[in-house]
Structure 1
Amino acid sequence: MTIVFLTALGVGGATVFGAIIGFAFKHISHKFSDIVLAFAAGIMLSASILGLILPSLDFGGKLAMVITVAGVFGGAVCMNLLDKVVPHLHRIAGVPAESGVPVSDKLSKVMLFVAAIAIHNLPEGIAAGVGFGSGNMAEALTIAGAIALQNIPEGMVIISPMLLAGVSKRRAFILALITGLIEVLGTFIGYFAVTIASAILPFALAFAGGAMLYVISDEMIPETHAHGSERGATYALILGFCLMLAADFYIG
């Protein structure tokens, strides 16, 4: 339980760490953030397959394939529904201060952007918690590490839009902290869900894997290919995937 608690803090704290970097370097280049985000996407892609979807097949019994496929699509559909309620607004949120957009309109869009990240952090936290249900501590920690790595650039990008919209530094930090705490909550939800009802473990693992695949394909990869750094981002994703693959081979 202690390791789960520390992992939850690490996953949520990564967003706060990224926010601190955002305060220190207000104008982080798109190329740098795209490379980091693509590297994290590669790790998450490998982690979702090796640490969540394949274990789901192992635990699924006679109906393993049906349960796993249903879980993967269930996780993807859940994230899709969340996007319809509160879509990610990376480009809308970053409206320059001199753009002429009224501060009130700009602020409301930024708050929607922050709310989107907070809501998307919940299933990511659940994925980190569910990973511990497989009983493979090494894989669970690498899954959590992949999600935490993805949270760092996410924390970085939420600071600048808030400051440009007139949000004070103190309030911006508190909002970033809240988004991280939601991920901590999600980690505990995922962990306790599969601990209390082990029968749902195969579906829960696949569901978390499907949610991660959706985030990677729908948000992370398009974001890393939107600013002219797609070649570097592609190799960074492959590097992250292979690094996770090696970690699973030698440690898992």
Structure 2
Amino acid sequence: MLSVAFLELLKPSVDSVGLYFTVSFLLGVLAVYFVDVLLPHDHMVGEVVLDDLRTRMRASLLLAIAVVIHNFPEGLAIGSATAVEYSLGSRVTLAIGIQDIPEGLAVALPFIAVGKRGLALLFAVASGLSEAAMALIPPLLGGLAPQLLPHLLSFSAGAMIYVVSHEVIPETHNHGYEKEATVGLLVGVVLASLLETLGA
């Protein structure tokens, strides 16, 4: 997500509108911040012992809600990139799609573990639909006002970077797997950078 935000979203936005990207970038950050405030979803605290069904269900629901919310900026990123240029949209979609696989498993497996397969399917579908719905917005806005497209790219970048910094990185370091999380982050950056280079 970080590589996509910097290489595929911010770079073309800066190239197009210069320093004005900062306005829409900060608006993207603020948008996700206010969503977090209005729809609080605690981090999955590593110290909590999930030794009863009720606690495990609450943790699973919080995680699922967080993932659904965090798919909003990913959908905006896909829609914005595709509206600007089809090849750019393809690269962004592929990169986000790759990271959506473990994300989807992270949503589904906790529900399956407590015997709630129906909820696993429900939130997996909701996660995908939230992303798809948000992906429709940038092309519609871009059709009405094409000059908005570079700003939609930086808006999406700001939202994604906020999510990674505020939610994803702290969460991956919250369960005693700091080294593995760091390696995963670096591998993700390399893979996304390769996709951008090969697609250039």
Interval of TM-score (by shorter of Structure 1 and Structure 2): 0.7 to 0.9
> How far has the Cα of 1:198 moved from its partner?
0.6
Which residue type is aligned with residue 80 of structure 1?
A: Y
> How far has the Cα of 1:215 moved from its partner?
1.4
User: Which residue in 2 is equivalent to 1:153?
Assistant: 102
User: Which residue in 2 is equivalent to 1:207?
Assistant: 155
Which residue type is aligned with residue 74 of structure 2?
A: E
The CA distance in 2 between the partners of 1:72 and 1:160, in whole Å, is 34
Q: What's the % identity of the aligned pairs?
A: 32
1:87 aligns with 2:40: yes
User: Which residue in 1 is equivalent to 2:14?
Assistant: 57
Normalising by structure 2, report the TM-score.
0.85
Q: Is there any run of 5+ residues in structure 1 with no aligned partner, and where?
A: 1-43
1:129 aligns with 2:79: yes
Whether the 8 Å CA contact 2:67–2:127 is kept in 1: the answer is yes
> How far has the Cα of 1:109 moved from its partner?
5.9
**Aligned-partner SS, 1:115:** helix
Which residue type is aligned with residue 225 of structure 1?
A: H
The CA distance in 2 between the partners of 1:108 and 1:226, in whole Å, is 17
- Cα 1:129–1:166, aligned 2, differ >3 Å: closer, same or farther? same
> How far has the Cα of 1:47 moved from its partner?
1.3
1:218 aligns with 2:166: yes
Which runs of 4 or more aligned residues in structure 1 lie more than 6 Å from their structure 2 counterparts after TM superposition? none
Normalising by structure 1, report the TM-score.
0.69
Whether the 8 Å CA contact 1:86–1:112 is kept in 2: the answer is no
CA RMSD for the aligned pairs?
2.6
CA-to-aligned-CA distance 1:22-51 (integer Å, 9 cap, x gap): xxxxxxxxxxxxxxxxxxxxxx21111111
> How far has the Cα of 1:227 moved from its partner?
2.5
Question: Which residue among 52, 68, 76 is the counterpart of 1:118?
Answer: 68
**Aligned-partner SS, 2:40:** coil
User: Which residue in 1 is equivalent to 2:93?
Assistant: 144
